[in-house]
Amino acid sequence: MESLLRKAAEDILTGIAVICGGSFRRGKASCGDMDIVFTHPDGKSHKGFLPKFVKRLKDMSFLREDLVFSTHSEEGTDSGVDTYSGLCTYPGRELGHRIDFKFPTIKQRFFQVDLILGCRLRLLAESKGFRLDDTGLYPATHGSPDKWGIKATVSLKFDEEKEVFDFLGFPWLEPHERNL
């Protein structure tokens, strides 16, 4: 299936990276859903990609039903992550499976792929005066009625996923070691 998705993505946008995330990336024996993250090094090609990709997969009868479709990049902002959730079928099978696609900006990519340790890392970030979510790691500001405060608009920049762990002082774990 990964090759099918990679081929369909490359037909629309060359140079795209297709990363299987979630429980598949962690090497679990079974997966409740499939998490696929797309990135492109130019930081701009995410705009308009996801609707074209979803249409292509529907034309191939791979995607059967939409659950969530959110395209922030087409609304003229890079603050959100283009997201699709739906049901797909493997070629030759009728049983449907949940699949999620995300196309973050290049700066957000490490916060999408696999943070199974999300709850622990969010609490650790909070204890250090930061807010961690699936779009980035932000300095927390005070004055909001919610417990996290107002989210700063600019995330800290990281070039590698390991740098997020290092910054928070959490030991690096390879994806297959994250099944806690």
Q: 122-136 pLDDT, tens per residue?
A: 888 888 888 877 777
Which residues, other chains included, contact 153 with Cβ-Cβ below 8 Å and sequence gap of 6+? 79, 138
**CATH number reported for the structural domain that contains residue 128 in this entry:** 3.30.210.10
Domain count, the chain: 2
0.75 surpassed by pTM: no
Which residues, other chains included, contact 70 with Cβ-Cβ below 8 Å and sequence gap of 6+? 80, 81, 82, 83, 84
Task: Please determine, for residue 41, whether its predicted confidence score (pLDDT) is greater than 50.
Answer: yes
Domain termination site, one of 62, 92, 111:
111
Any idea what the Cα angle at residue 99 is, between residues 60 and 178, rounded to 5°? Answer: 140
More confident residue, 165 or 134: 165
Domain termination site, one of 60, 84, 111:
111
Percentage above 70 pLDDT, the chain: 68
Q: Which helix (H) or strand (E) holds 2?
A: helix 2-12
pLDDT of residue 58: 92
Helix (H, G, I), strand (E, B) or coil at 94: coil
